[in-house]
Every structure is written in structure tokens, then in C-alpha cells.
């Protein structure tokens, strides 16, 4: 069993402590409290760092306790039950802390903006997009995250033409960044009177939500801002004013929209936040020289580009084509249990050559 020093190096306690010290120094500056958004961001970062340090320290303490118990067993002490419970506790804490240690990207700790777009196929793919939106909302509920539906465009018959979801919590982007890509569904169509099997596609894209600690400069002359009446399926909650906002960033042709709020001002502010997140992600990809612009990463929402297949007929199986993780419990996954898939993808990201 490795010693505590090795564990401290593995969990990077020293680096976490330095980050916490830097945040504390920032919070001691008198003028920081005049900037409410920045001070709130720093306080949240402080809490997250303190929680990370506590979790890593707890693993080291559990390991040392386990070593003492093992020595007592070797000396003939009858403490097998205590040893068993300590091992279980240690393994659980170690697994959670190791997973936390996989969040190595500076943006992993951020909130996320998640968008869903159906592929070709009309009502079938639009219904699949609706199912995916439900899956991610349920995932967020399981993790204790907060969700806010910024925009959704209903399909003509059922489902969604598009949806934009803001998700808030610890390491939301680190987790959900692993969900970006094309998702494929195979099932007996509920919209086909002949009960034939259909294949549908929908694309999911995740962006880190940009806070006040990162400046994204946007030239107002590069924007086309349109207002329109919020859409809906009818009823008393449909807005009758042109409060919805659509913003087009002309240089990149990125289009974002928001209709969640009744106030046009609030919808514009939310749409600008989404635009900044997408421009930031675009710039990161450019710097890595992987792609010339973000839209190229999306590819065609169709065959050959999927990251995960969800088969409901003729058998029931969900398989991630990147990691080969699969499960027959499709209902549990569609109800938001994505941890196994996300963890495997994070491990692969952390060890790309393994």
C-alpha cells in the first residue's frame, strides 16, 4: 500500500492548497466586494477547493487508519468486522476522490450550457431530442444540480426542434462535456402505424458557462439581434409580446436564442451569456489547432458520427462507441443514470494512450 506522501502527490493537495491561498488573498482585497459577481465566483471557488481538500485529506486519513487496523490483525486482534467496514469506506472514498482528480481541465469546475438538436427524420428525431432533454434534466436532479431551460422550440407534431439548457453545480461542465456528440436511437416508432423500426439521431453539445473571471470581447457591430414572440403549445403561459431574443454573431454565424423570461432584457442577457460560452469554446478549439471553428466539430447528425447508441428493439442495449461501456438497463440510463458512461469517458480522456 502506497504511503501518505504518494497519495498527497497523486491527489495534488499542495496545488489545491496554493489555489485556495490565492483565492483567500483575492477575497481580502477591499475593492473585491464592490464587484458582486466576481466576489460570488471567488466564494464559490473557495468552497469547492475546501471541499476538494477535505475529501482528499479524508482518503489519506482512512488509509492510515486502515494500516493501523492491519497491524493489529497481524498482532492477533479480533477486529475483522472493523477492518471490513473500514476497507469498504476507504474504497468508496477513494473511488470518488479519484474520479474528482480526473477533472484536470481548468473549465471542468464551471457550470454548463447544453444544447440539443435533432437530426434529419422529422417527428422521430424531434421526439428523440425531447427524450434526451428529459434524460439530462433527470441526470441533473440525481447529481443535485440546478437546471434552467433557456430556450426550446417545439416540433410540429411532437418533440423538439432545439433546446438550450443551463445547468449549475460543481464540475457540471467536466461531467457533461463528455456527452457532446451524436446520440443514436433505434426503436419501434410510436408514430408509425405499421410499427416499423426507425433509427433517429440527435446532437448534444456542451459549453462551459463563462463567468466574470474570463473576459470575452464582442463587437456590437458583429451582432444581429432579432426579437420575436415566444413560441409554445398554447394556453395562458404563452407570451403575447415580442420578448424572445435571437442573436446572430455574424463573423462565426453562431446563432443563440432565449425565450425563457418574460422580459426581453433578461432574455437578451441570457442569450449573450450563451454566446460568450460558445465563442470561448470556439477559441479554445482554435488554440488547440484541432478545428478552424466550432461548427466544423459537429459534423453530420447521422450514421458514422455517433458517440452512443440506444437500442430499444429488437433487443435492449445502450453502448458507448468511444469506451465500449454498455448496459442492458436502458430505462435506468434514460432516467438519468449516466455516471458509468461519463466516468469511463473521463478515464479515457485522462489516459488517451492507455
pTM of the model as a whole: 0.73
Q: In what order do the strands lie in the sheet with 254-258?
A: 223-228, 244-249, 254-258
The CA-CA-CA angle for residues 169, 171, 176, to 5°, reads 95
Tell me the per-residue pLDDT of 2-25, one tens digit each, with 9 for 90 and over: 444 444 445 567 788 898 999 999
Is residue 105 in some structural domain?
Answer: no
Alpha-carbon dihedral angle through residues 151, 154, 160, 166, given to the nearest 10 degrees: 10
Percent helix, strand and coil across the chain, each rounded to 5? 45, 20, 30
Both 312 and 222 in one domain: the answer is yes
Cα–chain center distance at 124: 25
Rounded to whole angstroms, the Cα distance separating 120 from 123 reads 9
CATH code of residue 300: 3.30.70.1660
- Which residue range forms the structural domain that includes residue 283? 112-350
Q: Whole-number mean pLDDT of the chain?
A: 85
* Predicted local distance difference test score (pLDDT) of residue 238: 47
Tell me the per-residue pLDDT of 246-285, one tens digit each, with 9 for 90 and over: 999 999 999 999 998 888 999 999 999 999 999 998 888 7
The candidate with the shortest Cα–Cα distance to 98, out of 345, 343, 354, 348, is: 343
* Predicted local distance difference test score (pLDDT) of residue 112: 95
Check whether 56 has a pLDDT greater than 70.
yes
Rounded to whole angstroms, the Cα distance separating 118 from 130 reads 9
Q: Could you tell me what percent of the chain has a pLDDT over 90?
A: 49
* Predicted local distance difference test score (pLDDT) of residue 80: 87
Both 317 and 184 in one domain: the answer is yes
CATH code of residue 22: 1.20.58.410
Is residue 107 in some structural domain?
Answer: no
Tell me the per-residue pLDDT of 288-302, one tens digit each, with 9 for 90 and over: 654 333 445 455 666
Amino acid at each position: 500500500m502506497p504511503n501518505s506522501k504518494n497519495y498527497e502527490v497523486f491527489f495534488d493537495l499542495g496545488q489545491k492548497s496554493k489555489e485556495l491561498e490565492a483565492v483567500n488573498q483575492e477575497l481580502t482585497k477591499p475593492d473585491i466586494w464592490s464587484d458582486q459577481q466576481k466576489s460570488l465566483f471567488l466564494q464559490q471557488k473557495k468552497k469547492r477547493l475546501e471541499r476538494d481538500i477535505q475529501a482528499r485529506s479524508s482518503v489519506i486519513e482512512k488509509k492510515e487508519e486502515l494500516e493501523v487496523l492491519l497491524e493489529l490483525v497481524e498482532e492477533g486482534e479480533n477486529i475483522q468486522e472493523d477492518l471490513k467496514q473500514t476497507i469498504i469506506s476507504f474504497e468508496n472514498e477513494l473511488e470518488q476522490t479519484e474520479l474528482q482528480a480526473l477533472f484536470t481541465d481548468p473549465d471542468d469546475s464551471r457550470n454548463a450550457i447544453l444544447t440539443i438538436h435533432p437530426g434529419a427524420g422529422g417527428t422521430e428525431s424531434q421526439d428523440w431530442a425531447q427524450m434526451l432533454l428529459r434524460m439530462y434534466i433527470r441526470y441533473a436532479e440525481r447529481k443535485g444540480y440546478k437546471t434552467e431551460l433557456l430556450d426550446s422550440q417545439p416540433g410540429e407534431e411532437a418533440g423538439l426542434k432545439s433546446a438550450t439548457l443551463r445547468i449549475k453545480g460543481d464540475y457540471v461542465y467536466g461531467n457533461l462535456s463528455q456527452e457532446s456528440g451524436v446520440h443514436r436511437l433505434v426503436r419501434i416508432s410510436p408514430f408509425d402505424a405499421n410499427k416499423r423500426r426507425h433509427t433517429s439521431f440527435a446532437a448534444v453539445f456542451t459549453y462551459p458557462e463563462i463567468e466574470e473571471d474570463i473576459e470575452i470581447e464582442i463587437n456590437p457591430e458583429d451582432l444581429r439581434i432579432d426579437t420575436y414572440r415566444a413560441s409554445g403549445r398554447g394556453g395562458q403561459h404563452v407570451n403575447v409580446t415580442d420578448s424572445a431574443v435571437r442573436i446572430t454573431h455574424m463573423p462565426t454565424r453562431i446563432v443563440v436564442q432565449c425565450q425563457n423570461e418574460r422580459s426581453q432584457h433578461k432574455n437578451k442577457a441570457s442569450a449573450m451569456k450563451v454566446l460568450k460560452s460558445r465563442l470561448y469554446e470556439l477559441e479554445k478549439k482554435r488554440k488547440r489547432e484541432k478545428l478552424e471553428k466550432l461548427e466544423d466539430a459537429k459534423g453530420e447528425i447521422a450514421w458514422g458520427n455517433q458517440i452512443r447508441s440506444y437500442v430499444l428493439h429488437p433487443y435492449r442495449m445502450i453502448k458507448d462507441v468511444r469506451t465500449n461501456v454498455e448496459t442492458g438497463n436502458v430505462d435506468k440510463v434514460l432516467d438519468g443514470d449516466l455516471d458509468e458512461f461519463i466516468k469511463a469517458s473521463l478515464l479515457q480522456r485522462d489516459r488517451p494512450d492507455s
